Amino acid sequence: MEAPKRPYADDRSFADLLGDLVRDVSGLVRSEGRLVRAEIAEAGRSVAVGAELIAAGAILLLVALIVLVQALVVLLAEWVGPAWASLIVGVGLAAIGGLLIARGRKDMTAARLVPDRTIEQTSRDARLAREQI
Protein backbone atom coordinates (compact mmCIF):
# COMPACT_ATOMS: atom_id res chain seq x y z
CA MET A 1 0.00 0.00 0.00
CA GLU A 2 1.35 3.38 -0.91
CA ALA A 3 1.39 6.32 1.57
CA PRO A 4 -0.68 9.33 0.56
CA LYS A 5 1.42 11.88 -1.20
CA ARG A 6 1.76 15.26 0.36
CA PRO A 7 2.09 18.02 -2.17
CA TYR A 8 5.54 19.56 -2.46
CA ALA A 9 6.05 23.15 -1.45
CA ASP A 10 6.18 24.04 -5.15
CA ASP A 11 2.67 22.64 -5.64
CA ARG A 12 1.15 24.58 -2.73
CA SER A 13 -0.04 28.15 -2.79
CA PHE A 14 1.41 30.92 -0.69
CA ALA A 15 -1.85 31.05 1.29
CA ASP A 16 -1.54 27.33 2.11
CA LEU A 17 2.07 27.75 3.23
CA LEU A 18 1.17 30.79 5.32
CA GLY A 19 -1.76 28.94 6.87
CA ASP A 20 0.51 26.02 7.79
CA LEU A 21 3.04 28.40 9.27
CA VAL A 22 0.42 30.15 11.41
CA ARG A 23 -1.01 26.81 12.56
CA ASP A 24 2.45 25.44 13.43
CA VAL A 25 3.49 28.61 15.25
CA SER A 26 0.25 28.78 17.22
CA GLY A 27 0.64 25.11 18.16
CA LEU A 28 4.20 25.78 19.27
CA VAL A 29 3.10 28.77 21.35
CA ARG A 30 0.33 26.72 22.99
CA SER A 31 2.78 23.91 23.77
CA GLU A 32 5.29 26.36 25.23
CA GLY A 33 2.52 27.96 27.27
CA ARG A 34 1.55 24.58 28.73
CA LEU A 35 5.20 23.88 29.54
CA VAL A 36 5.61 27.25 31.26
CA ARG A 37 2.43 26.73 33.31
CA ALA A 38 3.61 23.27 34.37
CA GLU A 39 7.05 24.56 35.35
CA ILE A 40 5.56 27.48 37.31
CA ALA A 41 3.17 25.13 39.12
CA GLU A 42 6.03 22.79 40.02
CA ALA A 43 8.17 25.70 41.22
CA GLY A 44 5.21 27.03 43.22
CA ARG A 45 4.76 23.70 44.96
CA SER A 46 8.46 23.62 45.78
CA VAL A 47 8.33 27.16 47.19
CA ALA A 48 5.25 26.29 49.25
CA VAL A 49 7.00 23.28 50.77
CA GLY A 50 10.03 25.44 51.54
CA ALA A 51 7.84 28.09 53.17
CA GLU A 52 6.14 25.45 55.31
CA LEU A 53 9.52 24.11 56.45
CA ILE A 54 10.72 27.63 57.29
CA ALA A 55 7.54 28.31 59.28
CA ALA A 56 7.89 25.04 61.20
CA GLY A 57 11.54 25.83 61.94
CA ALA A 58 10.64 29.35 63.08
CA ILE A 59 8.01 27.99 65.47
CA LEU A 60 10.50 25.53 66.94
CA LEU A 61 13.11 28.27 67.30
CA LEU A 62 10.58 30.48 69.08
CA VAL A 63 9.76 27.67 71.51
CA ALA A 64 13.49 27.11 72.09
CA LEU A 65 13.97 30.83 72.75
CA ILE A 66 11.16 30.81 75.30
CA VAL A 67 12.74 27.83 77.08
CA LEU A 68 16.13 29.58 77.11
CA VAL A 69 14.60 32.77 78.52
CA GLN A 70 12.94 30.71 81.23
CA ALA A 71 16.30 29.08 81.99
CA LEU A 72 17.83 32.55 82.33
CA VAL A 73 15.08 33.53 84.77
CA VAL A 74 15.69 30.38 86.81
CA LEU A 75 19.45 31.06 86.83
CA LEU A 76 18.98 34.65 88.00
CA ALA A 77 16.40 33.54 90.56
CA GLU A 78 19.22 31.77 92.43
CA TRP A 79 20.83 35.17 93.15
CA VAL A 80 18.04 37.76 93.28
CA GLY A 81 14.81 35.81 93.75
CA PRO A 82 12.21 34.73 91.18
CA ALA A 83 10.26 38.00 91.00
CA TRP A 84 13.36 40.14 90.46
CA ALA A 85 14.79 37.65 87.98
CA SER A 86 11.59 37.76 85.91
CA LEU A 87 11.56 41.55 86.07
CA ILE A 88 15.22 41.86 85.01
CA VAL A 89 14.82 39.47 82.07
CA GLY A 90 11.51 41.06 81.01
CA VAL A 91 12.92 44.59 81.06
CA GLY A 92 16.05 43.46 79.20
CA LEU A 93 14.04 41.76 76.46
CA ALA A 94 11.66 44.74 76.21
CA ALA A 95 14.64 47.10 75.79
CA ILE A 96 16.16 44.91 73.06
CA GLY A 97 12.78 44.64 71.32
CA GLY A 98 12.26 48.40 71.49
CA LEU A 99 15.69 49.05 69.97
CA LEU A 100 15.00 46.58 67.15
CA ILE A 101 11.64 48.21 66.39
CA ALA A 102 13.18 51.69 66.38
CA ARG A 103 15.93 50.55 64.02
CA GLY A 104 13.41 48.82 61.75
CA ARG A 105 11.21 51.93 61.59
CA LYS A 106 14.24 54.03 60.71
CA ASP A 107 15.13 51.62 57.88
CA MET A 108 11.55 51.64 56.56
CA THR A 109 11.22 55.38 55.94
CA ALA A 110 9.80 56.39 52.57
CA ALA A 111 12.96 58.32 51.75
CA ARG A 112 14.90 55.05 51.64
CA LEU A 113 12.61 53.78 48.88
CA VAL A 114 13.55 56.55 46.45
CA PRO A 115 16.15 55.31 43.93
CA ASP A 116 18.52 58.28 44.35
CA ARG A 117 21.37 56.85 42.25
CA THR A 118 19.05 56.01 39.36
CA ILE A 119 17.46 59.46 39.44
CA GLU A 120 20.89 61.11 39.47
CA GLN A 121 22.13 58.93 36.58
CA THR A 122 18.99 59.64 34.55
CA SER A 123 19.40 63.37 35.15
CA ARG A 124 23.02 63.18 33.96
CA ASP A 125 21.98 61.24 30.87
CA ALA A 126 19.25 63.78 30.06
CA ARG A 127 21.70 66.66 30.54
CA LEU A 128 24.22 64.96 28.28
CA ALA A 129 21.55 64.34 25.62
CA ARG A 130 20.51 68.03 25.72
CA GLU A 131 24.13 69.11 25.34
CA GLN A 132 24.56 66.85 22.31
CA ILE A 133 21.55 68.38 20.54
pLDDT (tens digit, 9 = 90+) per residue, 90-103?
A: 999 999 999 989 88
- pTM value? 0.52
Asked if the structure places residue 4 within a domain, the reply is no
The domain containing residue 85 runs over which residues?
A: 11-132
Tens digit of each residue's pLDDT (9 = 90 or more) over 47-73: 888 889 999 999 999 999 999 999 999
Among residues 41, 98, 93, the alpha carbon closest in space to that of 69 is found at 93
How many folded domains does the chain comprise?
1
Reduce the DSSP state of residue 116 to 3 states and report it: helix
Asked if the structure places residue 25 within a domain, the reply is yes
Predicted confidence at residue 72, as pLDDT, reads 95
